Amino acid sequence: MSEFEVMSCRLQETGLYDIQEGTIVYAELKAYAAGLDMYFDILKEIADEHLVASANSYGLTMYSNIISAPNIDNTTDGIRESILSAMSVGYSDRRLSDYEKLLGIYNIHGTLSEENGNIIIHCTESPDSATEAFIEAHIARFAPVFSTITFE
């Protein structure tokens, strides 16, 4: 139901208004409804973009920037899937399998091992320094404070 229909029904229920096309009250309600429809459309878009599951544009970009989710597939569904995957590993997930999941999410090929509290990433492809910095920044935030990340 449009805002015009809601307002006109509520006003007619009072018995004080006879809202007929061509009257001043009808014209006023149409003008108010046009403005309200615009604002409600904006609020609906904001609400949709706030949730990853319903975001289609700037909401996905915002989440991608926050968590640095890789855009392996540049379709809307692919970006959404990358974000949801990256968000599925929480800060309390401390098993090596959780870190391996993170490597997969960020499209890093390799395995992990742990030695004396340190996490060792065994990369099948030798990463450059920028990739190593990226991995350290995004994997290390999940690692315990006493842990260090090294590459082999």
Q: pLDDT tens across 2-53, in order?
A: 899 999 999 999 999 888 999 999 999 999 999 999 999 999 999 999 999 9
Are 18 and 28 members of one domain? Answer: yes
What token pair was written down for 137?
Answer: 């920044």
Are 136 and 106 members of one domain? Answer: yes
Are 64 and 20 members of one domain? Answer: no
Q: Counting beta carbons within 10 angstroms of the beta carbon of residue 82, is it exposed (0 to 12), middle (13 to 18) or buried (19 or more)?
A: buried
Could you tell me if residue 22 is left (phi over 0), alpha (psi between -120 and 50 degrees) or otherwise beta?
Answer: left
What are the angstrom distances between the C-alpha of 11 and each of 18, 108, 137?
8, 62, 59
Short-list 151, 129, 139, CA closest to 100:
139
pTM: 0.59
> In which domain, by residue range, is 138 found?
93-152
